[in-house]
Chains A and B, each alone.
Chain A
């Protein structure tokens, strides 16, 4: 059974700092891995999708990497801003490819 763990659960950093969020999963036979952002009381916004054949994806100040063999993904945020404050969720698909399995998220707070 696939399980997804995100560390740390919460993170507070000053504006401008570079940071890394970690995600680990127990079953390396995954399809895609997707990183989301969730603001309080809101829905999920897709940030980056890494297909199983890829090793990383970049969008603006965000870079996500995938190492299937070790069961890990990282989300790197460069030059953090207060607007980056949110909960970041990592999710991978179950073996059937029909359902995303989510971690509990990392809640990021960036102070100005």
Chain B
């Protein structure tokens, strides 16, 4: 039973380019969460999605960032026109139900974005 799969594991972009990070949840999980970990800071919640729906995006920056979780395929976190401050580790997590009610959150290994 594969865990949460994220790719790419490492991504290098120049300022102004776009970054796309992909997350495949654990088998049977339909709830996906994205977190960001900036250097020397803790993990910060970005967005919570179910299939085809954004449930809570209170942690998403207002501009340049978007997320989707289509009916088929992985969840995508998209960052347009990247800036150096976007350099961070982006973690995806999944759960069977809404994790706050039903139990554990399982995390992927993360995607590390470096903006030159």
Contacts and interface: CB of A to CB of B under 8 A. Distances in A.
Interface of A: 31-32, 34, 36, 41-46, 49, 51, 89, 91, 93-94, 96-105
Interface of B: 33, 35, 41-45, 48, 55-56, 58-59, 91, 93, 98-101, 103-110, 112
Given A32-B104, A100-B33, 10 more contacts: A32-B99, A43-B107, A43-B110, A49-B103, A51-B103, A94-B45, A99-B33, A100-B93, A102-B35, A104-B41
B50 to A, nearest CB: 10
Contacts of A89: 42-43
B45 A100 contact: yes
A46 B100 CA distance: 15
B58 A99 contact: yes
B14 to A, nearest CB: 23
Contacts of A91: 43
Contacts of A102: 35, 42-44
6 contacts: A42-B110, A44-B91, A44-B107, A46-B107, A94-B45, A98-B48
A27 B44 CA distance: 18
A43 B26 CA distance: 15
Nearest to B101: A97
Contacts of B100: 31-32, 93-94, 96-99
Contacts of B106: 46
Contacts of A46: 104-107
A105 B45 CA distance: 15
A98 B109 CA distance: 21
A84 to B, nearest CB: 19
Contact of A49 (B33, B93, B104): B104
A46 B103 CA distance: 11
A98 B105 contact: no
Contacts of B41: 104
B45 A101 contact: yes
A29 B93 CA distance: 23
A31 B91 contact: no
B55 to A, nearest CB: 6
